[in-house]
Amino acid sequence: MTTTRELAQERLRVQEAAERLGVSRSSVYRYVREGRLTASRDEQGLVFTGLDVEILEGYRSFGRRGPRLYGDKELTEFLAEDQVELPSELRHLLTA
């Protein structure tokens, strides 16, 4: 059962995250539902790690919602660029 103290504690944590991100408390809850902000629960309600808030804050500074998704052409180019003919003296490391 949730007590009023626990509810107040959770509200405080959500408020802190909201202020840090410059959004409303309801947006913080929405971010959690959408998986953009990771939250866990302890006996006093939702817990946000500072790092997760920081990451979301970083994306927001670029006007983005989260990690960008590569286009197919871009991904194909990356994979092609990664194909390397190793010098023969290094090939033994491939099987390690």
Partner 1 sequence: MTIGRDTVVLFDASCLVAAGGSSRGGSAFVLRLCARGYLRGAVSRPILAEAERNTREKMGDLAAVQLERLLLAADLTRILVPVWNVASGVNEKDRHVVAAAVAGRADVILTLDRPLASEVNLSALATVAMTPGDFIRQELPTHPDFPFAHH
Q: How far is the CB of 22 from partner 1 (least distance, A)?
A: 15
Q: Is residue 10 within 8 Å of residue 46, measured between CB atoms? A: yes
Backbone angles phi, psi at 80, to 5 degrees: -65, -40
Measured distance CA(58)–CA(40) in Å, rounded: 21
- C-beta closer to partner 1: residue 19 or 78: 78
- C-beta closer to partner 1: residue 5 or 64: 64
33 token code pair: 């539902």
- C-beta closer to partner 1: residue 19 or 74: 74
In this structure, are strands 45-48 and 39-42 parallel, antiparallel, or unpaired? antiparallel
Q: Applying CB under 8 A, which residues contact partner 1? A: 51, 54-55, 58-59, 61-62, 66-70, 72, 75, 77-79, 81-84, 86-87, 89-90, 92-94, 96
